[in-house]
Amino acid sequence: MDELALPRSKEELAAIQEEGKRTALERARRSPFFRDRLKAVRHWLDIPVLEKESLRALSPQEFYGGFCIGPREDWRQFWRSGGTTGKPLFYPRTAEDLRWAMIGFRRVYDCAGARVGEAAHLSLPLGIHPAGQMMARAGEAQGVAMAWVGAGSAAPSELQLDLLALFRPTLWIGMSSYGIHLANLARTRELRLSELGVRKIITTAEPLSQAKRDKLAREWGAEVFDSFGMTECTMMGAEDAVHDGFRTWSDLVFLEVLDPKTLQPVPEGAEGVLVVTPLRTNHATPFLRWNTGDIVSLREAPGKGPYAVFPLVKHAHRTAGFFKVRGVSIAHAALEDHLFATREVADFRCEVINDGDLDQLVLIVELGDASSAEQIETSVKRRFEITPVVRTMAPGTIARDFESSVKAPRFLDKRS
């Protein structure tokens, strides 16, 4: 078998999907959890969509004894679920699950054009959440020399900058927000990341807006490749050189885009909620039609190279939260885009506080030019119809405050 197991045609891909769906359904029928859910199923669309709350309601005994399948002797790893809210789950993975999962992670490097002999600095968390350790091992399998540095909570950002200057890697791998933090901290040390040799950045684990992409590319002098996956499946897709969405491994995961209200399929290219069924990594956790909660669109798209066989998925980034301040709804993603699109803003944090009887939107910003504070206030008022309180901080302060966090807490509601 080819090491990346890429389908050679859409016909071969369709055959893999049909066989994978049959196997996924057969494995789910072994699980006591699915016994009643699948009694009346005759067709694929008869299968009830699986919601996260259904699993979170299970006790550990019910999850491992009633949902999971296969002998425990076959389990080799536990993967922590990736959500930031609710009770986390820890999914067992068998050796066969891990073999196919590794293929999904290795394809990310291949899509980005990473080659044997390159070096990579990895700033993802290393632990029971699989993204970091799997990306490290996948890079090694692709012939890339990996520096397993870890996130800022394990390796302080000052050390990360020292290692970047020492190793001079061609690839940097991490969350987009942390890449921006490193760039801001580098400025305070009069260090230009764009001069350290990083040519490509691979991001994952959080939404990447165009404004954040542009800022990363500008500060690092590198091409940015985003990727996405979930612990219920594996790494599921990545951008190629065209950057027109994620080429998504539909031989490893069966993808459906459904109307969020009716849970019926939407037309090709229309937005809906992403529902996934792992086709290869289901030897211990037989997920069927898992509702990810992500709003996406999916379409077939022509292209060149072996990944053109896969469909393109685009995230709408509509699951982000929002503040409501004095009757005005402010989407976190929209405010982040607005501020990062402003060149004078190096970094920022946003808080909503109660000042007496009045709610206040407070923007804590690092500015290249202190005189820009008034301009920020004016632009935010014009865009969001609310006047913020703008407070400036010394360069690098926010990055250091974020150091202990895996995902940067940019937005805090401090109202009592």
CATH label of the domain that carries residue 341: 3.30.300.30
- The CATH number of whichever domain residue 153 belongs to comes to 3.40.50.12780
Could you read off the pLDDT of 372-395 as tens digits, one per residue? 888 999 999 988 888 899 999 888
Q: Distance from first CA to last CA of the chain, Å, rounded?
A: 59
- Per-residue model confidence (pLDDT) at position 318: 53
Residues 287 and 334 in one domain: no
Final residue of a domain: which of 318, 335, 364? 318
Determine the Cα–Cα distance for residues 328 and 324; give it in Å rounded to an integer.
Answer: 5
Could you read off the pLDDT of 80-122 as tens digits, one per residue? 886 544 567 899 999 999 999 999 999 999 999 999 999 999 9
Determine the Cα–Cα distance for residues 172 and 350; give it in Å rounded to an integer.
Answer: 27
Question: How many folded domains does the chain comprise?
Answer: 2
Residues 371 and 288 in one domain: no
Could you read off the pLDDT of 39-96 as tens digits, one per residue? 989 999 999 999 888 888 899 999 999 999 999 999 999 998 865 445 678 999 999 9
Residues 237 and 199 in one domain: yes
Statement: residue 406 has pLDDT above 70:
no
- Per-residue model confidence (pLDDT) at position 254: 98
Statement: residue 37 has pLDDT above 90:
yes
Final residue of a domain: which of 277, 303, 318? 318
Residues 124 and 144 in one domain: yes
CB 153 within 8 A of CB 404: yes
Residues 57 and 182 in one domain: yes
Mean pLDDT over 346-374 rounds to 82
pLDDT band at 278 (very low <50, low <70, confident <90, very high): very high
Residues 329 and 213 in one domain: no
pTM for this predicted structure: 0.83
Residues 239 and 303 in one domain: yes
CB 198 within 8 A of CB 179: no
Final residue of a domain: which of 289, 318, 347? 318
- Per-residue model confidence (pLDDT) at position 323: 76
Structural domain for 336, as ranges:
322-413
Cα angle at 316 between 367 and 241, to 5 degrees?
A: 80
pLDDT band at 317 (very low <50, low <70, confident <90, very high): low
Determine the Cα–Cα distance for residues 43 and 149; give it in Å rounded to an integer.
Answer: 47
Mean pLDDT over 206-211 rounds to 82
Residues 268 and 190 in one domain: yes
Q: Is 130 exposed, middle or buried (0-12, 13-18, 19+ CB in 10 A)?
A: buried
Determine the Cα–Cα distance for residues 34 and 184; give it in Å rounded to an integer.
Answer: 49
Mean pLDDT over 144-160 rounds to 91
Could you read off the pLDDT of 291-303 as tens digits, one per residue? 988 889 999 998 8
Beta strand residue intervals within 115-250, DSSP E = 119-122, 145-148, 171-174, 200-203, 223-229, 235-238, 246-248
CB 183 within 8 A of CB 156: no
Residues 367 and 314 in one domain: no
Of the candidates 4, 173, 204, 226, the one whose C-alpha atom is nearest the C-alpha of residue 104 is 4
Rg (CA), the chain: 22
Statement: residue 224 has pLDDT above 90:
yes
In the chain, the amino acid numbered 326 is R
Determine the Cα–Cα distance for residues 3 and 103; give it in Å rounded to an integer.
Answer: 7
Residues 36 and 59 in one domain: yes
- Per-residue model confidence (pLDDT) at position 1: 43
Residues 285 and 389 in one domain: no
Instruction: Count other C-beta atoms under 10 Å from residue 153's C-beta.
Output: 13
Statement: residue 15 has pLDDT above 50:
yes
Determine the Cα–Cα distance for residues 266 and 263; give it in Å rounded to an integer.
Answer: 9
DSSP string, 32-91: GGGTTTTTT--SGGGSPPBPHHHHHTS-HHHIIIII--S-GGGEEEEEE---SSS---EE
Residues 249 and 131 in one domain: yes
